[in-house]
Amino acid sequence: MAGLRIVGRALVDGKLLDEVTVEIDGEFISSVSIGESGSGPRLLLSKGQLLLPSATDLHVHLRDWDQAYKEDVFTGTSAAAAGGITTIAEMPNTVPPIRSPEALRERLKLLATRAVVDYAVHIGPLKKPEDASRALELGACGMKLYPEDLERLEDYLRVSRESGIRLVVHAELKGGDEVETVKMLLSYVKAGDDIRLAHISRAESLRIIELAKKELGARITVEATPHHLLLSYEELDENSRRISTVRPPLASMSDRQYIFSGLKRCSVDFIASDHAPHTLEEKLSGKNAPGFPGLEITYPLMLTEWFEDRLDISTLVKKLCRAPAEYLGIPKGEIKKGFYADLAVFDMRERWSISAKDFLSKAKYTPFEGRKLSAKLISVFRRGELIYNGELIAKGGGIHVSELRQKHG
Ligand SMILES: [Zn+2]
């Protein structure tokens, strides 16, 4: 049976081509060809529209459980779909936290019934280190360490070396500075280690990491968030400052410019939203509520950077789509035969402004409020199924990355 064909401008092999036919058979891309070909149902993109892979976001807090008032799995993954993101990796600092194989199993059960997009889960520092292999069998995609865990960094590095579980680190010691923490952290890293540094924000940290990437023989990867790439503290007004509290805090203009240039130098490996919703009351009360939502605007924000000529599209799509999917070991993030048909259609002619009241996330505020964008998301396919077309269509159906790997065979 002939599946759907999408015909129009698309990014193939790192190049934008004007007329491409992408054929979808079931959940996969069955062919990619130049010009229009094939028969059967067809989606013809209009001029100004663009077919790209949908994104994978390695750093997401969906809350739920005791914090379902901030966000839940359904609203959070709906926000992902509405942002062109079809796979997310969750962070384990939920309440209660995900720090045992049992908690991980519970979380996976919840995600299986409520997630709109596909998912992976990081585990927190395990109460019993010997549980690392069990967590890996259940599909944990890494172990996330928070500032309070870094005192025991050497223990966790040992667990990682023995079990093979990868580490992901929030490099900011309590009350401390990112640069000092990165230095300390890297002094323990040995050849062969696999460590991902979350949301790097300071120029000096990235310079140190760039050197370590060359010299240590370890796999050191770096995430950057749209807020650390595009916002600096001195550029915000008083009101935006109150809702833009985040860890690590927004840095200076020269910091953000250096992190941005790291995308081009390839020292920044992934763009991740660090979607971290709280209620507006919590944000405004000045209580400890770091972070803000980001799933719905990360892709359009970054694509606008390409459209306005500050970044090339191939680099951008690699950091948003292919590199994170590769990290999770799933065939997504490229328009390529045999890959999952995880796709996003953007319209580049429509200028629009970010308005957080329209977010599907429960958190309806953003430090990017009112920012003008040149990339409007039109539709999103998850494994061949249309899940968003200006409105959310899917009510669930997300699966775990281990299932994605199995199906692909
Ligand atoms: Zn986070």
**Distance (Å, rounded) from C-alpha 273 to C-alpha 256?**
15
What band does 346 get if pLDDT is binned at 50, 70 and 90?
very high
Q: Which residue has the higher pLDDT, 396 or 286?
A: 396
pLDDT score of 173: 85
Question: In the sheet that 194-197 helps form, which strands lie side by side, from edge to edge?
Answer: 143-145, 167-169, 194-197, 219-224, 270-271
Q: CB under 8 Å, gap of 24 or more: what pairs does 232-241 form? A: 232/256, 236/367, 240/367, 240/369
Give, as one character, the DSSP assignment of residue 367. Answer: T
Within its chain, how far is the Cα of 140 from the centroid? 16
Encode pLDDT of 384-403 as tens digits. 999 999 999 999 999 999 99
Output the CA 405–ligand 1 centroid distance in Å: 26
Structure tokens at 32: 């990619």
Give, as one character, the DSSP assignment of residue 163. Answer: H
Contact at 8 Å (CB) between 343 and 56? Answer: no
Structural domains of the chain sorted by starting position, each given as residue range(s) with its CATH number in brackets: 5-52+340-408 (2.30.40.10), 54-327 (3.20.20.140)
Output the CA 244–ligand 1 centroid distance in Å: 14
pLDDT of 253 higher than 50: yes
Contact at 8 Å (CB) between 312 and 306? Answer: yes
Encode pLDDT of 354-376 as tens digits. 999 999 999 999 999 999 999 99
Cα–Cα distance list, 376 to 41, 50, 379 (Å): 24, 10, 9
pLDDT of 40 higher than 90: no
- Average pLDDT of 315-326? 98
- Average pLDDT of 174-185? 90
Output the CA 61–ligand 1 centroid distance in Å: 6
Output the CA 5–ligand 1 centroid distance in Å: 38
pLDDT of 138 higher than 60: yes
Encode pLDDT of 99-116 as tens digits. 999 999 999 999 999 999
Output the CA 247–ligand 1 centroid distance in Å: 8
pLDDT score of 260: 98
CA nearest neighbour of 329 among 253, 400, 405, 216: 405
Output the CA 45–ligand 1 centroid distance in Å: 36
**Distance (Å, rounded) from C-alpha 122 to C-alpha 400?**
12
CA nearest neighbour of 208 among 270, 267, 148, 149: 267
**Distance (Å, rounded) from C-alpha 169 to C-alpha 155?**
14
Output the CA 123–ligand 1 centroid distance in Å: 13
What band does 127 get if pLDDT is binned at 50, 70 and 90?
confident
Contact at 8 Å (CB) between 297 and 368? Answer: yes
pLDDT averaged over the chain? 96
Structure tokens at 290: 């770091």
pLDDT score of 2: 58
Helices 153-163 and 178-188 sit at what angle, rounded to 10 degrees?
A: 50
pLDDT of 32 higher than 80: yes
312 belongs to the catalytic site: no
SS (H, E, C) 221-276: EEEECHHHHHCCHHHCCHHHHHHCCCCCCCCCHHHHHHHHHHHHHCCCCEECCCEC
pLDDT of 242 higher than 80: yes
Output the CA 223–ligand 1 centroid distance in Å: 11
**Distance (Å, rounded) from C-alpha 291 to C-alpha 274?**
8
Cα four-point dihedral sign 52, 53, 59, 65: positive
pLDDT score of 232: 95
* Active-site option among 274, 342, 347, 358: 274
Judged by DSSP in three states, 189 sits in coil
Which ranges of 38-152 would DSSP assign to H, the alpha helix?
73-81, 101-114, 132-137
Output the CA 309–ligand 1 centroid distance in Å: 29
What band does 1 get if pLDDT is binned at 50, 70 and 90?
very low
pLDDT of 176 higher than 80: no
Instruction: Rounding to the nearest 10 degrees, give the CA dihedral for residues 163, 142, 312, 345.
Output: 130
Output the CA 201–ligand 1 centroid distance in Å: 13
